[in-house]
Structures are given as structure tokens and as C-alpha cells.
Chain A
């Protein structure tokens, strides 16, 4: 697992209070990890803070799974 993936996973575990082994690449925040829509907004805010990037609304709407977040951040962080 990449360093970015590890950091994403840590944020998701902390924010949603779920077991780390449930936070797999294909896990959907809402369907698998019990997030509500407001949690997903907060996760995006937490990613922005952790990685020092801005995630525009249209990109944020496509981040539905852990893997989506990791691949967006891998592409958009230095």
C-alpha cells in the first residue's frame, strides 16, 4: 500500500470510527463504511487538510470509495 493510501486509510478510520480492515480499496464510504452524505463532505475536507490540496466540488462528487480518494490524491499531490 502506498504512503498516500496509508494516510487516507488513517483519516477514514479516525473519522468514521470503523475497523481498519474494513477500509479496503473498493470500500464505498456510504454503502460499506456507514458514512452519511455529510461525513463524505467532512472526509473531503480532512483530505484537503492532510494533503494540502484543494478538491473542487465536481471532483469531490466522484470520490465515492477509498480507492477513488487515493487515486485522486496520487494524481493531485506533489
Chain B
């Protein structure tokens, strides 16, 4: 089950917690993986750890030219692209009334617009081959909202709507488009929380722990697999029970 031998994947944000775990998991299932992210050293470190079947393309997703070059580059390196994981995301939290245009724009650009542009580029080759798996990493807050994260939550909700729309367009071509909505996961993003915030969060998670990158990566592996061919336009909530949607 969930064998990805002979499949070619691109993971954005692979220098982060969830992206790194996702790249590892896809690779462990047999896929060839292109790692993309902003921190070249970390990407190279991960590539070194994985050994074969791995490529690195550093990319700043706030740079549209770089974004547009990423999928063609990955296709050139691997020969084709079967699995796209739009994982990269940033936060610029602020109270809604204090939120700067720049904080809004930057988060929209990286989290949503880059995902749109990468997906648009990737789906072309997938249409020709009648096969593709597109997985967006959204967030529980895209569905529930979160005080202080109006921009971030908007992008995450946007990713869900975008994926559902594309899923309808390309389902007949063997391409599935799904999202995964993590709850609170141990990453640099949640490391920024203070002890009190952590406690408050844990009190709201029935599983009694924060999630790990591997918890999310397992869900990506499933959605990327041949076994998930009838699963499209969906959002998998992986959140230890903190929101049951």
C-alpha cells in the first residue's frame, strides 16, 4: 500500500518542519523528491540525509519569477512531476485593526498566490499524462479562524476553495486535488509560542499532545498514493481532535 516508486514529487517549504517530514515520507515510499525552500543549507542537509532520488531547488516564493521557474526546473531535473505538495507558508500575525497592508500582501503572496502559480504550472503536464496528485497544506485556522491571524487564515481558507475548484475541473483527467489541515504541530511556527500559550493549546487538544511533522506527512503520503485515486476536493483534518469538522 501507498508505494510511490517511480513517482516524482515537488515539496515546497521543505526546509521547514512539516515540509521536511513530508519529503522524508514521500522519499521513504519510493518517490523521487525535489526539495524547495528558502534555506539552502537545510535543504542540502536533508538531501544529503536522503541520499539518492533527491534534488534541491532553492526558491523564494515571494518572487514571482522564481515561482514560475520552479515547476519547469523540477520537471527538468526529474523528467516529470506527478506529485505537488504546496506546503510552504509564512505568518505575519497582527490584530486585524493593526494589520499592515504589507503584512496582508506578503502572506497572501507566499501562501496563496504562489500555490496558485505552482499548481497552474504543474497541472499542465499532469493533464497530458492523465495523472497527478496535488496536495495543499492548509490549516485548522482556515476553517475555524484565529484571532490575530486574519491574513494567514484567509490564505488557508483560500487554499481550500482553490483546491476544491480545481478538483472539479481536472477530476476526469486522473488528477486529484486535496488539502490537509494540520492543527498544532511542533514546528518553528509553534516554537514561537510561550509556555502559557502552549498550555492553553494543549488543553484544547483531546490527544493531549502537539502533532509532529510525521503526523502530517503520513496524510500526504496517503493523498499522493494511487490508493487515494477516488479522493478529491477534500480536506483531511489532522489535529488530534482539537476541531472535529
Contact = CB atoms under 8 A, between A and B. Distances in A.
Interface footprint category on B = under 10
B169 interface: yes
Interface string A30-49: 00000000100110010001
B94 to A, nearest CB: 37
A49 B129 CA distance: 13
Contacts, number: 11
B201 interface: no
Nearest to A38: B169
A7 to B, nearest CB: 18
Interface footprint category on A = under 10
Interface in B116-175: 124, 127-128, 169-170, 172-173
B173 A38 contact: yes
A26 B190 CA distance: 61
Interface of B: 124, 127-128, 169-170, 172-173
11 contacts: A38-B169, A38-B170, A38-B172, A38-B173, A41-B127, A42-B127, A42-B128, A45-B124, A45-B127, A45-B128, A49-B128
